[in-house]
Amino acid sequence: LDAAGAERLLAGGDLRQLYRTLLECKAGRNVYAERFFGEEYELDHLIHTYPKPVVCWGHGIVMGGGVGLMAGCSHRVVTEGSRVAMPEVNIGLYPDVGGSWFLRRAPGRTGLFLAFTAAQINAADAIFAGLADVLVPHAAKAQVLDAIAAAPWKSAPDADRATMSALLAKAGEGAAMPASKLREHFDLVNATLAGDDLLEIDRRLRALQSEDAWLQTAVRTYSKGAPSSVALSWALWQRVLRMSLAEVFRLEYQASLGFCAHADFAEGIRAVLVDKDRNPKWSPATLVEITPGFVEDHLRARGEMAPELVALA
């Protein structure tokens, strides 16, 4: 799984077309969105469960839907140029594409931190968070592809996965691992996001002081992000721990259609990608205003489950 160009693997889905349907359908049924999310999550689940080795070359920008594709691969390569993030809080969505699953499995509360702050992380961070497996210099890509083509594959999934792991480990030998901000600030992140009181977490996160520019950017982004995104990320964090991957994708499908039926998703796309004024008007404007009923309305079923997702196991 590779990029078509040199700068990025994938920065996310085609939100401009989706935006047009959000304006047309408002709170009504959105057939395009149903197909958009149903097919996307079916693909993500297929990658997660594919029996053969699947390599993702995660060079450059890997964000949103790009992380969803990479996260499911059996062998996830990052490079010195990787920039990984789940930036949905900026557009009034939540970390979907299985984000409720893989961010929940990151160490401590680092996954929750990434969901709340849209923090951009490097190769070392991605490996620490469980989003990637190995750092390989981007300059070695052609050599790695040649080695894959020449490897003694046996059509036996376990053996072939081991062969791929050994091949990539050899390619990454001696690669300079960058410093991991996520590991450096692990204790602080856990302390800030500790507990079961979202409003208290919100207070601590907004008040977080640091001389580290990376943390400052994370706090600033969180403060400007959609409260609805934070509230739903929190609700999903609490619900998915004992769910299967298929169950998580089905719940995310309902949540994504819920966001399509509410105002913040369209407003976030407008502010970031359409008008580009970076000044979204979130509704509700604060976490305090968000009620349990508001959260549940995002998560409820809207019509039938996507046929692509019904049969997932």
Over residues 132-154, the pLDDT tens digits come to 999 999 999 999 999 999 999 99
Domains of the chain, each with CATH number or no CATH: 8-310 (3.90.226.10)
The DSSP bridge partners found for residue 78 are 58, 135
pLDDT at 75: 99
Q: How far is CA 181 from the centre of its chain?
A: 18
Strand (E) or helix (H) holding 135: strand 134-135
295: nearest Cα among 215, 243, 233: 233
Eight-class DSSP state of 306:
P
Residues in the chain with pLDDT < 70?
A: none
* C-alpha to C-alpha distances, 141 to 78, 146, 160, 224, nearest whole angstrom: 11, 9, 19, 38
Please state the φ and ψ torsions of residue 189, each to the nearest 5 degrees: -60, -45
147: nearest Cα among 128, 171, 131, 113: 171
pLDDT at 5: 81
> Model pTM?
0.97
Strand (E) or helix (H) holding 310: helix 307-310
**Mapped to the 3 state alphabet, what secondary structure does 55-68 carry?**
EEEECCEEECHHHH
Over residues 206-218, the pLDDT tens digits come to 999 999 999 999 9
